[in-house]
Amino acid sequence: METNSTNVVPPSNKTRAKVVISDFHLGEGRRNWDGSLNVLEDFTVDSRFVELLDFYSKAYDQVELVLNGNFFEMLRCRAVLDYPDIIFETYAEELIRVALNGHAEVVTALKRFMENPSHSMIYILGEADVGVLWPKVQAEIKSRISDRIVFYPNYYLDQGIYIQHGHQFEAMYDLDLQSPFKEVDGLTMLKLPWGAFFNAHFIQPLRKIRPQFYRVRPMRNYLMWSLLFETRFLLRVIRQFFKMIISATSRRLYPGNSLFTIFKIFSQAVDSEDLEEKAENLMASDTIQKVIFGHTHLPNYRQFDTGKEYFNAGTWTRNLSLDLRSLGSFHRLTYVLVEFRGEGKEPQTKLMEWHGRHEVIEDYL
């Protein structure tokens, strides 16, 4: 697995672009085995993504597709009866097969995209697809899409453009990439972040009651809203939270299980402004001109006084934002487009939104 890279600039007569997408959270698929709606599936716009891939595959001679974290959902995917708060290799393999089979249309389009030898694909890990660290999981993805996919566990640097998912700056989801595995009763497991336990024992039980619960950003604003307008549901949230805390203090599989450590982790949550600050710090380096993050699910752009730029690619899942800068319910298919304009010229980077063909009807949830 690579750590970073600087690619050779292709001849100037070749048009070249980089498409960066983030936080697709491909899970089990939109439909359950019996055809009923899977309300816990986050990604519902498979055909739109296929359109985007086909469009850019033809629009430029060379296209690099960057999957900037959480492309697959491995913390909220039900390959077994319960949601995972531990991941071992065979279970991770099953999780990725479930996601690949649940989104066959996307997998076929990615494979078709990579059949062009001029195109390439970079896969950067997030916290939700941490199971991709397993070599056999990477092998499964390559066998279904292309053996030319290159995996990066942390960040990707190319011609002054720094791309990273962004979960590394949040204590709840930070991963120990120097030593990601551990032995438990003779079985090798991933050292999951505390957020895996949070998802399995707090988020998912509440989503069974209110599927849109997880989609609200930022969560602390939603809790204040619930205090005023949804008191009954807020009481459920509080009850589930303390149930999770009691369970967490009895576990030994997570980094920190004392009440002090748990509340310290919660106090270090990050939002859009925090990631802007992290990006500005990164761009203090002369080698970094632009930073692209994901993680927050909120598309964002900022140009600093130095002229350097920060982008957040957002997500293609539905969102309900209680942030004043993006207030309201939205489903915006945002991504970052980098156009390389020839040797000696600075790449032009833009935050884009894909519209594609108009869908006459679609599932409400």
3-state secondary structure string across the chain: CCCCCCCCCCCCCCCEEEEEECCCCECCCCECCCCCECCCCCCCCHHHHHHHHHHHHHHCCEEEEEEECCCECCCCCCCCCCCCCCCEHHHHHHHHHHHHHHCHHHHHHHHHHHCCCCCEEEEECCCCCHHHHCHHHHHHHHHHCCCCCEEECCEEEECCEEEECCHHHCCCCCCCCCCCEEEECCEEEECCCHHHHHHHHHHHHHHCCCCCHHHEECHHHHHHHHHHHCHHHHHHHHHHHHHHHHHHCCCCCCCCCCHHHHHHHHHCCCCHHHHHHHHHHHCCCCCCCEEEECCCCCCEEEECCCCCEEEECCCCCCEEECCHHHCEEECCCEEEEEEECCCCCCCEEEEEECCCCCCCCCCCC
What would the mean pLDDT of 349-358 be, rounded to a whole number? Answer: 91
Total residue count of the chain as it appears in this document = 365
**Burial status of residue 343 (CB atoms within 10 A of its CB: 0-12, 13-18, 19 or more):** exposed
49-102 pLDDT per residue, tens: 999 999 999 999 999 999 999 999 988 765 444 555 678 888 899 999 999 999
For residues 11-34, one letter each, b for 16 or more C-beta atoms within 10 angstroms of the residue's C-beta and e for the rest, the string is eeeeebbbbbbbbbbbbbbbeeee
CB distance 253 to 192 below 8 Å: yes
Cα–Cα distance, 316 to 337 (Å, whole number): 15
Q: Is the dihedral of CA 277, 278, 282, 283 positive or negative?
A: negative
Kindly report the average pLDDT of the chain as a whole number. 86
The residues, any chain, with a CB within 8 Å of residue 136's CB and separated by 6 or more, are 89, 92, 93
Can you give the pLDDT at residue 264? 78
The structure tokens 């748990």 sit at 262
Name the pLDDT band for 330 (thresholds 50, 70, 90). confident
What would the mean pLDDT of 270-282 be, rounded to a whole number? Answer: 91
- Given a cut of 70, is residue 295 above it in pLDDT? yes
Hey, how many other C-beta atoms are within 10 angstroms of the C-beta on 180? 16
Name the pLDDT band for 328 (thresholds 50, 70, 90). low
The residue ranking higher by pLDDT, 177 or 148, is 148
Can you give the pLDDT at residue 216? 78
- Given a cut of 60, is residue 10 above it in pLDDT? no
Can you give the pLDDT at residue 251? 61
Cα–Cα distance, 168 to 156 (Å, whole number): 14
* Domains of the chain, first to last: 16-196+270-353 (3.60.21.10)
State what percent of residues in the chain have pLDDT above 70. 88
Q: What are phi and psi of 67, to 5 degrees?
A: -90, 100
Cα–Cα distance, 46 to 104 (Å, whole number): 9
Can you give the pLDDT at residue 54? 96
Can you give the pLDDT at residue 100? 96
Nearest to 62 by CA among 116, 127, 131: 116
Cα–Cα distance, 54 to 267 (Å, whole number): 43
Can you give the pLDDT at residue 45? 93
Can you give the pLDDT at residue 257? 60
Cα–Cα distance, 310 to 96 (Å, whole number): 31
Can you give the pLDDT at residue 174? 87
Tokens of 133: 């660290």
Cα–Cα distance, 77 to 84 (Å, whole number): 8
Can you give the pLDDT at residue 271? 82
What would the mean pLDDT of 327-339 be, rounded to a whole number? Answer: 88
